[in-house]
């Protein structure tokens, strides 16, 4: 999921456009993009879309960002949107591992009520100091957790940290990526609010890719193509990864532990990375199965 396009739940006229876009995933939003007076309206519109089957048939990763657990909307949101074809519930502001387990239990109840047979995962937002500090604990709290998503605006603004401060961005990204790695889940990058600054979006996406993030949140369709380009493995990366995978198979057959590919010493960590690149290239149709 190189790109994930946000769509406010109160904008059903945009649903079809988002599903037809080049984004790998869509996130139907019931939280920040929806005013308090329109929560019911948004929930109804998203539920209708999901029950109609168009989202499931799109081939995209389908995500719904629900309202936080300390709001009166959470339980209703989860019961409405955990439908066949939904892959992830995006949970804002998780406060503790117990919070995550409670959210997972709510998703399980909704699956049973709505006849959902494929388990729906959780994408946890890391957007508060406490969540950043305990990110690995949150990620390890329940098997439903599929990934951690960084929320730089919510994390930085209340603390007076400049949203575009490179040192702060890099440290937050690194912390989330390491926490996700400890839990064996993926890390997903934050939104970038300045829609007019395409180069700023690109630079931040390139940093997050170098730090091992899966993809980047897009709040405007113009950002999707950039995210798809940045998070696509390059032809050079793919070619090298294929060589490493082939060399690893030969080395295993010969009982060799370390060897050289393209002048670089290769052992298990590099093989793991190469296999991930090959798998990504195959998923994107850049290599035959």
Q: How far apart are the first and last CA of the chain?
A: 19
For residues 220 and 242, state if they share a domain. no
Domain-embedded: residue 100: yes
What phi, psi does 174 have (nearest 5°)?
A: -60, -45
Domain-embedded: residue 289: no
Q: Give just the sign of the alpha carbon dihedral 220, 223, 224, 225.
A: positive
For residues 132 and 266, state if they share a domain. no
For residues 82 and 201, state if they share a domain. yes
The mean pLDDT value for 137-157 works out to 97
For residues 24 and 116, state if they share a domain. yes
CB 123 within 8 A of CB 188: yes
Tell me what pLDDT residue 43 has.
Answer: 97
Find residue 187's DSSP bridge partners: 148
Q: Give just the sign of the alpha carbon dihedral 214, 128, 28, 142.
A: positive
- The full length of the chain comes to 289
Residue 3 has pLDDT above 80, yes or no: yes
The mean pLDDT value for 104-110 works out to 98
Write out the residue range of the structural domain in which residue 271 sits.
Answer: 235-283
The CA angle 229-230-234, to the nearest 5 degrees, is 80
Q: How confident is the model at residue 268 (pLDDT cuts 50, 70, 90)?
A: confident
Residue with tokens 């949107």: 81
Does the predicted model carry a pTM greater than 0.85?
A: yes
Number of domains in the chain: 2
Q: Which residues contact 277 (CB under 8 A, 6 or more apart)?
A: 233, 237, 238, 241
């Amino acid at each position: 999921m190189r790109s994930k396009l946000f769509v406010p739940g109160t904008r059903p006229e945009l649903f079809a456009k988002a599903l037809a876009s080049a984004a790998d995933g869509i996130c139907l939003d019931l939280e920040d993009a929806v005013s308090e007076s329109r929560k019911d309206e948004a929930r109804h519109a998203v539920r209708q879309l999901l029950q109609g089957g168009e989202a499931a048939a799109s081939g995209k990763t389908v995500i719904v960002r629900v309202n936080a657990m300390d709001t009166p909307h959470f339980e209703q949101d989860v019961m409405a949107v955990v439908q066949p074809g939904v892959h992830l519930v995006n949970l804002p502001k998780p406060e503790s591992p117990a919070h995550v387990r409670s959210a997972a239990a709510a998703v399980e109840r909704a699956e049973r009520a709505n006849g959902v047979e494929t388990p729906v995962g959780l994408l946890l937002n890391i957007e508060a100091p406490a969540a950043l500090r305990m990110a690995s604990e949150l990620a390890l709290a329940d098997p439903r957790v599929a990934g951690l998503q960084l929320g730089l605006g919510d994390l930085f603004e209340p603390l007076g940290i400049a949203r575009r401060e490179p040192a702060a961005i890099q440290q937050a990204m690194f912390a989330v990526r390491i926490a996700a790695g400890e839990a064996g889940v993926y890390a997903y990058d934050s939104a970038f609010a300045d829609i007019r600054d395409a180069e700023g979006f690109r630079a931040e996406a390139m940093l997050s890719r170098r730090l091992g993030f899966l993809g980047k949140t897009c709040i405007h369709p113009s950002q999707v193509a950039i995210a798809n380009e940045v998070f696509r493995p390059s032809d050079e990366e793919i070619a090298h990864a294929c060589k490493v995978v082939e060399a690893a198979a030969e080395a295993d057959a010969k009982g060799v532990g370390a060897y050289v590919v393209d002048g670089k010493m290769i052992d298990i960590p590099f093989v793991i990375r190469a296999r991930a690149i090959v798998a990504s290239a195959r998923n994107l149709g850049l290599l035959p199965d």
